[in-house]
Structure 1
Amino acid sequence: MAVERVLSGMRPTGQLHLGHYHGVLKNWLKLQHECECLFFVADWHALTTHYDTPEIIEASVWDMVIDWLAAGIDPSNATIFIQSRVPEHAELHTLLSMMTPLSWLERVPTYKDQQEKLSSKDLSTYGFLGYPLLQSADILIYKATQVPVGEDQVPHIELTREIARRFNHIYGREKGFEEKAEAAIKKLGSKRAALYDEMRAAYQENGDDEALDSARAMIEEQQNLSLGDKERLLGYLEGGGKIILVEPDYKLTPASKMYGLDGQKMSKSYNNTISLREPIDEVTRKIKTMPTDPARIRRTDPGDPAKCPVWQLHEVYSDEITKSWVQEGCRTAGIGCIQCKQPVIDGVVAELTPIQARAAEYAEDPTLVKNIVAEGCEKARKLARETMREVRDVMGLNYG
């Protein structure tokens, strides 16, 4: 099978906290060893809601990269870059906007949701409406095959697939396509050519998705084919034209169990976070002063862990023995709330200590961090330029 290429980004709008670590970064740590990964700082995306406070973005960009590296994102396994340093994203976004129906953007569920949630801001801007299209450009420019997202972001990936399909339908009809595709089949050699024809027929006549996947894998493995020939064969498989932009699949991110200090989802807007670089004594203080089951007014009052925000942190940080101790001790008033909180404090501190040590090393060497990002931007730009050459070509923009 061809190597999967994963693309994911985060908006730099403040310090990263344990919610980011458990919800996104731990998944990235796993993916970087399984696939080709590109992780980017989505600074243009941050401007869609922070256009009037750009200083927040500027202050957060480098801090966020340091947090990624400290958490274990390895630049030898993943490409780390900043969106605005690869201007081809904006070029593809502009060109895609020429053929994307307005109604497609207006029906994205997060468009109206976010406008309601952030009603204090004027979000009646083109940038906010076009946010999902810029996201599509981010993905399509790297021909990413997988995009890790939460369930709320699935409609964005569906939109990206529709845009890729529409683009390929409009611009993939090159002159003499079928003849060029047939010539490319011959380059496979007689044995593989026969197999390709067999799998193409199985897919087109019987809708055999396994045959389609096998044929795609076989094409990707061919070293002697040009990129153009590979794209013709991929398009011919499905009965359409040349495939210029790849339709990505979404990869559902495992739901984060990380709740905030008040039992709600951990979020800066709820002021209930523990940031990755929070001083350890402040971490201890925050957990010690967490609210507990309101029924436990006195030390001798029994409680119910299900009604206590501290229990939600035990679910993340404690082993089964500790969890049983908490259940028994809380329900019988055998342990006090401060005792109950100590294993959570120990677990959070154990997780943050190595992250903070690595973050301090990177913070002391800003040149190293900037070099990592510069190298990542160069790698990303190389891929982006290749896609844009093809896009300009099929759109008739490569004038001699």
Structure 2
Amino acid sequence: MLDTPNTLTPAINSKTIATGKKILTGDRATGQLHLGHYVGSLKQRVELQQGNQQTILVADMQGLTDNGNTPSKVASNILNVVADYLAVGINPAQTTICLQSGVPALAELTMYYANLVSIARLERNPTVKNEIQGKNFGRSIPAGFLTYPISQAADITAFQAQLVPVGDDQLPMLEQTNEIVRKVNALANSEILVECHPLLSNVSRLPSADGKSKMSKSLGNVITLDASDQAIGQAVKAMYTDPSHLTIDQPGQIEGNVVFTYLDAFHPDTIFIAELKKHYQRGGLGDGKTKQILTDCLQALIAPIRARRQRLIADKGYLTEVLKKGTEQAKEESQQTLDKVKTAFGLNLL
């Protein structure tokens, strides 16, 4: 079996898309969502639900790919993720929120697609390679983790998604999805699946406080969406700035300064931040002042989200009902795609 050559799928920005698109996105249920999720995707999802057909997947099965021995970590976070979605403004009346394990077509599609992809191709996927190294799997790689791109392809194609909001580190995953789409269409001799395009945000990767890695649940360096004012202040206080900016009167550098990276990402007044940068660069502005501005900004952003989230998480019956209703809708839609793929494989006897 030959693998389809890797070709770059053009990425687009949400500001340039028309309405009426099918969109698929989601998160693994391995912990609460955080500011990296918010600026990288959640904020965009709230905007995209207006006039588009958006499905958001709580990816519990994919959460097991590196938590198979501790499944309680996944099970205990499913409703946490749903609460995060609703708290930031995702509306279940406009967006289908569903549970991956509750949509049988996804697992079946994954099995069919697995027969179209070689182990060598999976191991060449840069996203998979980097995560394998980061998790120190060595050769003890869980099979589910290695085949993660195939499962993701099943998710995307099941809902015929045209757009997938992702960070730039996930672009190789979408390339592999489109390779699978082309192979299935070749089998069917018809365009039964659509190729997807990545939808990048302005901040696709938010750094951690030390600036050495991205904000990540697995690395434990996150500011969650229900963080207290005290926790936010402590996180900002620890942020990396310019190590050579020793006194207020000295000029400071913006590049690599995590505080300004966050101000660019979260502060609503871009003109004010532009002037703040100039002040910092010419000298006369201390790190304490810039960190206080960021602290105030993040506290103002998170406070209403935290309040809504606290009310939501106290009503687990409502969260479960939202997930159940969305999952039923997702089952119907994904079954239509599964029927077409089974026909392409000649497995439609019954």
- The question of a shared fold, defined as TM-score above 0.5 by the shorter chain, is answered with yes
Using the TM superposition, give the Cα deviation of residue 399 of structure 1 relative to its aligned residue in structure 2, in angstroms.
Answer: 3.2
Please, what is the CA RMSD of the aligned residues? 2.6
Give me the whole-angstrom Cα distance separating, in 2, the residues matched to 1:132 and 1:143: 16
Give me the whole-angstrom Cα distance separating, in 2, the residues matched to 1:69 and 1:111: 30
Report matched runs for 1:124-273 at 5 Å: 124-170=141-187, 172=188, 241-256=189-204, 258-264=206-212, 265-268=214-217, 271-273=220-222
Q: Which region of structure 1 is more displaced relative to structure 2, 91-100 or 310-319?
A: 310-319
* Counterpart residue number, 1:204: none
Render the CA deviation track for 1:125-151: whole Å, top value 9, x for unaligned.
Answer: 321221111111111111222222233
Letter matched to residue 374 of structure 1: K
Residue of 261, 284, 287 corresponding to 2:233: 284
Task: Write 1 or 2 for the structure with the bigger share of helix.
Answer: 1
Residue of 295, 307, 311 corresponding to 2:244: 295
* Counterpart residue number, 1:391: 341
Give me the whole-angstrom Cα distance separating, in 1, the residues matched to 2:246 and 2:19: 60
Change (3 A) 1:49 1:122: farther
Q: Conserved in 2, the CA contact under 8 Å of 1:105 and 1:130?
A: yes
Give me the whole-angstrom Cα distance separating, in 2, the residues matched to 1:100 and 1:332: 56
Number of residue pairs matched by the alignment? 329
Using the TM superposition, give the Cα deviation of residue 310 of structure 1 relative to its aligned residue in structure 2, in angstroms.
Answer: 2.4
1:83 aligns with 2:103: no
Report matched runs for 1:336-347 at 5 Å: 336-347=286-297
Q: Please state whether the residue corresponding to 1:95 is helix, strand or coil.
A: helix
Change (3 A) 1:305 1:32: same
Q: Conserved in 2, the CA contact under 8 Å of 1:305 and 1:311?
A: no
Change (3 A) 1:123 1:40: farther
* Counterpart residue number, 2:264: 315
1:361 aligns with 2:284: no
* Counterpart residue number, 1:348: 298
1:69 aligns with 2:19: no
Give me the whole-angstrom Cα distance separating, in 1, the residues matched to 2:154 and 2:35: 29
Give me the whole-angstrom Cα distance separating, in 2, the residues matched to 1:157 and 1:289: 35
TM-score, normalised via structure 2 length:
0.84
Render the CA deviation track for 1:206-227: whole Å, top value 9, x for unaligned.
Answer: xxxxxxxxxxxxxxxxxxxxxx
Give me the whole-angstrom Cα distance separating, in 2, the residues matched to 1:309 and 1:362: 32
Letter matched to residue 108 of structure 1: N
Change (3 A) 1:242 1:63: same
Q: Please state whether the residue corresponding to 1:7 is helix, strand or coil.
A: strand
Render the CA deviation track for 1:305-363: whole Å, top value 9, x for unaligned.
Answer: 42643233332325433552464267544x54333322211111111111112112211
Q: Please state whether the residue corresponding to 1:124 is helix, strand or coil.
A: coil
Give me the whole-angstrom Cα distance separating, in 1, the residues matched to 2:61 and 2:27: 11
Letter matched to residue 302 of structure 1: Q
Render the CA deviation track for 1:12-38: whole Å, top value 9, x for unaligned.
Answer: 222211111001111211211142110
Give me the whole-angstrom Cα distance separating, in 2, the residues matched to 1:104 and 1:330: 47
Identity rate of aligned residues, in percent? 34
Give me the whole-angstrom Cα distance separating, in 1, the residues matched to 2:137 and 2:178: 32
1:108 aligns with 2:58: no
Change (3 A) 1:355 1:330: same
Using the TM superposition, give the Cα deviation of residue 121 of structure 1 relative to its aligned residue in structure 2, in angstroms.
Answer: 6.6
Give me the whole-angstrom Cα distance separating, in 1, the residues matched to 2:345 and 2:198: 27
Q: Conserved in 2, the CA contact under 8 Å of 1:295 and 1:303?
A: no
* Counterpart residue number, 2:320: 370
Residue of 40, 45, 55 corresponding to 1:28: 45
Give me the whole-angstrom Cα distance separating, in 1, the residues matched to 2:23 and 2:91: 15
Can you give the 5+ residue segments of structure 1 that lack an aligned partner in the other structure?
Answer: 173-240
Q: Conserved in 2, the CA contact under 8 Å of 1:330 and 1:336?
A: no
Letter matched to residue 105 of structure 2: E
Q: Max radius of gyration: which structure?
A: 1
Letter matched to residue 12 of structure 1: A
Give me the whole-angstrom Cα distance separating, in 2, the residues matched to 1:132 and 1:37: 21
1:44 aligns with 2:44: no
Can you give the 5+ residue segments of structure 2 that lack an aligned partner in the other structure?
Answer: 1-17
Q: Please state whether the residue corresponding to 1:286 is helix, strand or coil.
A: helix
Change (3 A) 1:99 1:342: closer
Change (3 A) 1:100 1:338: closer
Using the TM superposition, give the Cα deviation of residue 68 of structure 1 relative to its aligned residue in structure 2, in angstroms.
Answer: 1.0
* Counterpart residue number, 1:54: 71
Residue of 380, 386, 393 corresponding to 2:330: 380
Q: Conserved in 2, the CA contact under 8 Å of 1:295 and 1:301?
A: no
* Counterpart residue number, 2:7: none
Give me the whole-angstrom Cα distance separating, in 2, the residues matched to 1:389 and 1:269: 37
